[in-house]
Amino acid sequence: MIDVEDLIALVRNYNPRTNADLIRRAYAYGMAMHEGQMRKSGEPYFTHPVAVAAILTEQRLDDATIVTALLHDTIEDTKSTYTEVERQFGQEVAELVDGVTKLTNLQLSSTETQQAENFRKLFMAMSKDLRVILVKLADRLHNMRTIKSMNVEKQAQKARETMEIYAPLAGRMGMQWMREELEDLSFKVLNPDARNSIIRRFLTLQREAGDVVHKITADIRFELEKVELEATVYGRAKKPYSIWRKMQEKDLAFSRLSDIYGFRIICASVADCYRILGVIHQRWRSVPGRFKDYISQPKSNGYRSIHTTVSGRDGKRVEVQIRTREMHEVAEAGVAAHWAYREGVRAQNPFAIDPGKWIASMTERFDEGDHDEFLEHVKMEMYSDQVFCFTPKGDVVQLPRGATPLDYAYSIHTRIGNSCVSAKVDGIRVPLWTRLKNGQSVEIITAEGQRPQSSWIDIVTTGRAKAAIRKSLREEDKGRFIKLGQELARAAFDHVGKKASEKALRTAAKMLGLSDQEDLLARLGSAELTARRVVETLYPELARADLEVVDATRPVLGLSDDQAFRRAPCCQPVPGERIVGITYRGKGVVAHAIDCPALEEFEEQTDRWVDLAWHSGRHAAVHTVTMEMTIANDAGVLGRICTLIGEQRANISDLRFTDRKPDFYRLIVDVDLRDVEHLHMVMTALEAETDVAQVSRNRDKTRKP
């Protein structure tokens, strides 16, 4: 574990004016709070917060962030409190520690709806202070570096969460080095065989071709020295996961994969960047379509650099990135560059993006009402690379890679997108599904009266465009569906001799748990709800009148012509319940409910089992069900109970008292019913009666067929 003085030395390397006493106090407090706690690896737990703080010193972050790293688990995992942290270290640190604690408690890899809501909370926390997510990313990085001490299942869960959420988020924040390491550490857990295979191929390649990185780096330095251009040149082989992803995306074998080496040239000025580009292209042949100028068109996270791919030594393709030192700091630290210190003062890096503007661009126009659209937009923002297109006036529009003219139209204004009929790219009319490329000029042609088409959902790429199209389609469809729903409701109500009045529809909507009459009609028109169900909700008896009447002597399917049928007295199954038949010598087939305990004794006699099912249609009310009730001992109560059962069109075939007390009666009632829905109606009506204390279905397993 790094001791406190070594940690302070790391901070002093970039911030000589650091508050060493504050860091010492935080170090001592964190160590005391985590005293006795151990990590899965067996190390003292406090080694983790110290390691997180050390990772953040590599990004030259301010004292408050370093102290937050040392204390980031105290509120969650120890007896420490927000009030105590605020008292000892100030409000800024307390709020940062509290923010990290809240992020830690978010289960980002849960179900879609929960994930969308948790992403929303994530961005809310980030919008308050982006340093919260910087600490969380460093926390995740150290946990991934030490993940081997966890059990296998936990390793896989954390690796998936890192690959799906934290690595893309680090990349979206411009911290590419962290994204690559998080991806590779996750790759090592999720697919170790593939990773080891790529590493072995790399070693074979090095044995065959020698140290390619060293040779090409020397070639670049030689060319720059010839024209007296000062620059630092770095070279490296790309990470195993980066190579694996390219192999999967392009469906290529390792031997056919190009540009597996990357080189970075860091110089003093923007002018030198373009001069170096000229030198590289003069010496090596550029690969068409592989040039990106992020200096003149920076990424939204502040990233600036020139990217080009050339055919280098022995025809091997290599990617070259050219940038200034200030651009390099932003490329390494991303949004974190906003807080970076140099020589004790906040670095005034002209290329560092304002975190407030960055987070605003991330959360812009997210539809708070639709979880799917929110999640789709978030992931699009986090995962996408970008293309830069021009308006006819020369303004730049940033879009994700794969965007179409429709995405472009919606990025200008929703009204432009909704009324789009065609587009011109570089002056030539193109289909709306055309994929836009860097540097193209786009002109949108609109027409009054044009409305979005349902097919557009599959054409567009951006979350904003998809949300706008869905909203427009919903609004347009709703009006059409309401009109259709009115006709369907009118016809269905007429069929049973009733009117589809506003009051009737409002009542039906309320009974079905819908917001209002319009919602009910729209669902009718869109076939989400059937007119029969609406009628049945209000008039269950009338709705059943037109159903085919089932023969009461043969109400089930599955019997042979010579088999007699009757219901088991122990469980008394009724139509609508799942049943199974058991053959009895001289008694035919007896139908039991599928959950009847009496079936246990026939488990070994499968030859006696008969697969039965109730006929569909309107059953006669001849299926007796025994109910047990407790009612108040008061004048008129029994009469009201009998009337209530009769109102539900059920017949009482027998009634007997089992207990009489001064204040209540217990009785058994046999009621003749049609089916399980009829049973439910009767029991619901009885349960709603104030003088009925208890009602239940009486199933007696002692009663034998």
Domain membership flag for residue 431 = no
pLDDT digits (tens, 9 = 90+) for 286-320: 888 778 888 887 876 678 899 998 886 666 778 89
Same-domain pairing of 649 and 560: no
From residue 106, give the alpha-carbon distance in Å to each of 100, 117, 151, 524: 10, 10, 21, 39
Return the ∠ at Cα 120 (arms to 115 and 121), rounded to 5°. 95
Euclidean distance between CA atoms 433 and 231, whole angstroms: 43
**Sign, Cα dihedral of 173, 177, 180, 181:** negative
Q: What is the pLDDT of residues 112-156, one digit of tens each?
A: 445 555 556 566 666 667 788 889 899 999 999 999 888 888 898
Same domain, 511 and 645: no
Give the mean pLDDT of 599-622.
85
Q: Does residue 378 belong to any structural domain of this protein?
A: no
Domain count, the chain: 5
pLDDT tier at 20, thresholds 50, 70, 90 = very high
Instruction: Mark whether 186 and 199 lie in a shared domain.
Output: no
Name the strand (E) or helix (H) holding 589.
strand 588-593
Instruction: Tell me the per-residue pLDDT of 66-103, one tens digit each, with 9 for 90 and over.
Output: 999 999 889 888 888 889 999 999 999 998 888 888 77
Tell me if 97 sits within 8 A of 85, measured CB to CB.
Answer: yes
Helix and strand counts by DSSP (H, E) for the chain: 29, 23
- Mark which of 346, 365, 384 sits at the end of a domain: 346
Residues 609 and 631 in one domain: no
Residue 632 lies in a domain: yes
Residue 117, classified by CB atoms within 10 Å of its CB into exposed (0-12), middle (13-18) or buried (19+), is: middle
Of 258-262, 545-549, 569-573, 662-666, minimum mean pLDDT range: 545-549
Q: Are residues 655 and 691 in the same domain?
A: yes
Report the catalytic residues. 76-77
Lowest mean pLDDT among 256-260, 473-477, 579-583: 256-260
Whether 164 and 251 map to the same domain: the answer is no
Q: Which residues contact 679 (CB under 8 A, 6 or more apart)?
A: 574, 625, 673, 697
Q: What's the whole-number mean pLDDT along residues 9-25?
A: 90
386-390 and 396-400 beta bridge pairing: antiparallel
On whether both 184 and 102 belong to a single domain, the answer is: yes
Neighbours of 606 (CB within 10 A): 7
User: Within this chain, do residues 183 and 199 fall inside the same structural domain, yes or no?
Assistant: no
Domain of residue 60, residue span: 4-190
Residue 13 phi/psi, 5° resolution? -60, -30
Q: Where does a domain end: 544, 567, 589?
A: 544
The whole-number average pLDDT for the span 256-277 is 84
- Among residues 101, 58, 79, which one has the least CA distance to residue 340? 58
- State the average pLDDT over residues 460-484: 81
> Do 88 and 28 touch, CB atoms closer than 8 A?
no
Q: Are 338 and 199 found together in one domain?
A: yes
DSSP notation for 126-160 = HHH-THHHHHHHHHHHHHHHTGGGS-HHHHHHHHH
**Residue 425 included in any domain:** no
User: Could you write out the DSSP letters of every residue in 404-416?
Assistant: -HHHHHHHH-HHH
Both tokens assigned to 7: 């940690």
Question: Which of 299, 317, 346 is a domain's end point?
Answer: 346
Mean pLDDT of the chain: 81
Q: Give kind and range of the element (H or E) at residue 167.
A: helix 167-172
DSSP lists the bridge partners of residue 423 as 430, 444
Decide if 693 contacts 664 (C-beta within 8 A): yes
Q: Evaluate whether residue 382 is within a structural domain.
A: no
- Give, rounded to a whole angstrom, the gap between the first and last alpha carbons of the chain: 77
Reported confidence tier of residue 560, pLDDT bands at 50, 70, 90? confident
Residue 359 belongs to some domain of the structure:
no
